[in-house]
A and B are shown apart, each in its own frame.
Chain A
């Protein structure tokens, strides 16, 4: 089984987001970068499926030249090949990104490299568009399911599960297919030191996709309004516990 995993470089945000003065980007002067959490699980899932069934793994990203860092991170986890759809760093919307990915897949096919399974994260951590995988599936004419947290491949067919209110929904469909996964499907491995060394030297296939502009136009970013509330410090240490009990009683959580 030949698997392509699509990932996106995003800043590793932690405590607080600050914006650049033009309000069009997150200020990443002091930030490190990573891939979206769901996508890290997609990479892990690709490695596990190929370990179980044989085949190959390829990772693809669309982004600036520095996004090759993330491709190397994924190769350090064990992915064999990497493709960078290199942009000038401007944000590409979901439709454009999907189109570029489809063109890259077509070009790979023309070069004799085909895929049986495309894995995406359920949504990118930053833009949260929830649609790139489905757009790609539609263009390829392949079935697609999203939000998958368990995956079993048997021959040419897939059984996938997703969480729904009160349990799990089960889907069964044939390969080739597009699946977007959610964190929780597995616990991603850490890269090994030999893996990192190997990834450092590994070749990356670079393609410059054509851009035809964003249909969804970002005007500016803004931070949600600060509620400006000040919380109450009930006290320090275990001696403060009875004061919290009073609060919980007032809220009706503890009834005597």
Chain B
């Protein structure tokens, strides 16, 4: 039986818990209690007239109510549409209209017709509604999910049950989550993959702790999880904090890491954006193995390093049911036995055709290669290739990675204003003093390892790239076009910049 069908087939075994760790309060329930509560919510939704295929929106911070609504939707074959309050600043009524929602639950004000307070679902009394016996077929879609594009309105797609099943099964084969594990989730539950770990707890029998971005640092060490589901930006910031703490207190990296993550970590998960190799090394050497993977919203998890097969620098071996095809331009294409989707639900004209190709193939736009042992290496975006006037193609990401290996540089974007020279726009590291000489030294160090055509002529010192100032995406990826536009004046002015 598939993972999702196991989940909806009946109550889980007792003995594992769902905890919600917020600042100021942690609550915890046995998964059997969560199952019972979700049944009440399912009955309530049926009472509202929700039927299979109807869309239930949730615009709320992570909470028990979020989990209950999602489980309830699965139990009546409705579709969950998760909206991150940090990204959707339109009214609930607009979301209902735009995405065809039967009802939206929100922790925002105000409520309206078909827009209800999320808090109401916790207080429901036991329902006498007969819940249907449901079966999810591979092609059914339990979730409407949204991509975090770097510009323009969010695209959406309906994710297939088959793709969720195959991803969960593959992850379980790699990491064997089970009794004794507690998976810590602090990224928004509006991201479908974050809800996987709730499904995993029910089916494979382990604890799961739901927190928030704001509460993560405060609750990690008291929760004492065994697994943390993070993103590169989180680990970058944490590493800077750990290094500063170690410098201040004289404690070793493993000692300060335990202070933040607790003493039970089995491994750390990272994905959704390229990770800094130095940061991966830092955590591994501090006794916290960290495993990078690769996937898009449109493909789900494609490849993943794990304890049984890990190659530094790669994003791991390709998962069963997924096939990586490298085209003649070096672009990674993914064919899935159970594709996530074959088109976007909401997108600009032409965007579906550009991403989804015939035969269940997704053109990722990322450049990469497979090594002889099947490990996938991602080298950057196809549109991040600079063509110099001599015809030489330069892939900028490896150059940027080398710059980022310098302690004073947190992030950077390499650009070429004239097709003759490369210029680095540099975001300084918060914890290091930055001046002209330190940047120049970093440039010299980097250039020494680069080929003739890859030499960086000068660096422009930018403000630190952050999500808040619009220079990082919500996935902590540098927003190349915005960065280039903001610093174009400094990049092209021959009098400006720091030279090696």
Please indicate whether A and B come from the same complex rather than being unrelated chains: no
Contact surface of B with A, Cβ cutoff 8 Å:
none
Contact surface of A with B, Cβ cutoff 8 Å:
none
